[in-house]
Amino acid sequence: MSDYNSIPAFIGVDWGTSKARFMLIASNGEVLDERTGPGIASLAGVDAIQAACCAGVGAWVLRHADIPILMCGMVGSNIGWRTAPYLMTPVGVDALARDPVRFEYQGRQLFIVPGVETMRLDGAPDLMRGEETQIFGALAEGKGLACLPGTHCKWATVSGGQITGFHTALTGELMALIGKHSILLNSRNAPHATASEAFTAGVQAIQSRPVGLETLLFTVRSLQIKGELSVASAADYLCGLCIGADVKSALTLYPHETAITLIGTPALTSLYRAALHMFGREAHVVNGNDAVVSGLTQIYMNSLVS
């Protein structure tokens, strides 16, 4: 006999731009089974998305006829399956659970978690879709500063169980663009996933001068020309400059947030953790996959069950 807690309660789907993760989840948040699928960006239209979903959840729906499917991420964008709204900050888990997009497909209930929008401290709007679920999954105490490194790095303030504000930094995309196309790197090697000496030097360069990334990037080239930076280390130094600039700006925006939680892949969170340490801040690290499961389970428990 199976433990009651291990009975499948819902199918959770973390469906982002570049990949999908389908999970059979128990009400205690245990992942009973799991498979991956293609991201929204590689699926042209709703028919392809439906087919990918069927492939992802196929075996489970036959065995568990009545459990719902709860999805978050770009699946709710205008290139996704159905467009889910953006809820304006402050937003709690209860609001996300109250207002999902609900629809039926092949007789099954589907739900897409809304995105979140905010007015940044600089007066511009900002948006997230998928990260809200990770944030609630990772910040168990419902307060602190969350940082989700990636192509578009999100920094979010959380207070009283609500996301109160956030901003997006283009760090990952900038690093990739510069690494791939600019004149700065001769060798197109990826940066190391640990904080090397060159990474540290990049963060220090940002830290020590009151100037921006655009003004320091050329040193990736000039240091190589003068023999002060090896071709093999240049990607690490560039990575240090980019992550250093991101962290410096974020700590300027949120100077009083001391409880910082990093959410993401081990490679990226370890580099951000090292950079934060150099700015005198320690960070708690949560695996991004675990955070999604926990967030989806909270949203499910908050409303779908009741």
Which of 63, 226, 256, 306 contacts a second copy by CB under 8 A?
226
For residue 277, which amino acid is it? Answer: H
- Looking at the Cβ atoms of 224 and 303, the one nearer to a second copy is 224
Under the binding rule (CB under 8 A), the answer on residue 210 touching a second copy is: yes
- Looking at the Cβ atoms of 252 and 306, the one nearer to a second copy is 252
Catalogue the E-assigned strands of the chain: 8-15, 19-26, 31-38, 69-73, 86-88, 91-92, 101-105, 108-112, 115-119, 125-128, 144-148, 153-159, 162-169, 260-264, 283-287
Under the binding rule (CB under 8 A), the answer on residue 281 touching a second copy is: no
Q: Which residue has the tokens 């207070």?
A: 159
Euclidean distance between the first and the last CA atom of the chain, given in angstroms as a whole number: 26
Site string for a second copy, 103-142 (x = CB under 8 A): --------------x--xxxxxxxx---------------
* Chain Cα centroid distance, residue 153: 7
* Chain Cα centroid distance, residue 148: 5
Under the binding rule (CB under 8 A), the answer on residue 231 touching a second copy is: no
Which of 59, 105, 209, 232 contacts a second copy by CB under 8 A?
209
**Whole-angstrom distance, CA of residue 132 vs CA of residue 116:** 7
CB of 1 to a second copy, least distance (A): 51
Q: How far is CA 281 from CA 83, 146, 164, in A?
A: 38, 13, 21
CB of 191 to a second copy, least distance (A): 16
Instruction: Based on DSSP, count helices (H) and strands (E) in the chain, helices before strands.
Output: 10, 15
Total of chain residues touching a second copy, rule CB under 8 A? 50
- Looking at the Cβ atoms of 36 and 208, the one nearer to a second copy is 208
CB of 5 to a second copy, least distance (A): 41
Under the binding rule (CB under 8 A), the answer on residue 69 touching a second copy is: no
Under the binding rule (CB under 8 A), the answer on residue 184 touching a second copy is: yes
* Burial class, 279, CB count within 10 angstroms (exposed 0-12 / middle 13-18 / buried 19+): middle
- Contact region for a second copy (CB under 8 A) — 93-101, 242-250, 267-275, 283-291? 242-250
**Whole-angstrom distance, CA of residue 173 vs CA of residue 150:** 8
- Contact region for a second copy (CB under 8 A) — 50-58, 168-176, 265-273, 291-299? 168-176
CB of 15 to a second copy, least distance (A): 18
Collapse the DSSP code of 171 into the 3-class scheme (helix H, G, I; strand E, B; otherwise coil) and give the result: helix
Residues of this chain that interact with a second copy (CB under 8 A) are 117, 120-127, 152, 167-171, 173-174, 177-178, 180-184, 205, 208-219, 222-223, 225-226, 228, 242, 245-246, 248-250, 252-253
